[in-house]
Amino acid sequence: MAERENQGREEQMERGSGSMNDQQQDISRTNGQSSGNGRGDDESARERRNSNRGFAAMDPEKQKEIASEGGRAAHRQGVAHEWSSDEAREAGRKGGQIVSRNREHMSEIGRRGGQSSGNRRGQKNGGSAE
């Protein structure tokens, strides 16, 4: 029976049907192995999420350098998005709407603005603003 399965796999490979991953899973199943790394799927998924390799492992300054080089390259090639004033206005409006939903943030902005305004007035008048 195993000989028949091997022969079927060889025929599949010759025809080029089926992905390599499918073939590896078939072989694993016939050998009594799971398709993973011997650990549970949850554990291997958790490991992938927490694994900092490549770009994620770099320090933020290095990431920023690489990303900005990509932006410069896109501009050199002429494929970068150029904002029109209408597009920029619309994007700013949308961002403002989202930010303004956070009432705590907005009240903090207002408080700082009031303090700054009061400080400027006090300096202008030569005294403290109280």
Give residue 54's pLDDT.
87
Give residue 2's pLDDT.
56
Domain locations along the chain: 1-29
- pLDDT grade for 35, boundaries at 50, 70 and 90: very low
The model's pTM: 0.33
Do the Cβ atoms of 122 and 129 come closer than 8 Å? yes
d(CA 31, CA 29): 5
What's the whole-number average pLDDT of the chain? 75
d(CA 8, CA 30): 13
d(CA 60, CA 76): 24
Torsion angle defined by CA atoms of residues 25, 30, 33 and 34, in that order, rounded to the nearest 10 degrees = 40
Predicted confidence (pLDDT) per residue in 45-104, tens digit = 556 666 678 888 999 999 999 999 999 999 999 999 889 999 999 999 999 999 999 999
Give residue 3's pLDDT.
59
- pLDDT grade for 22, boundaries at 50, 70 and 90: low
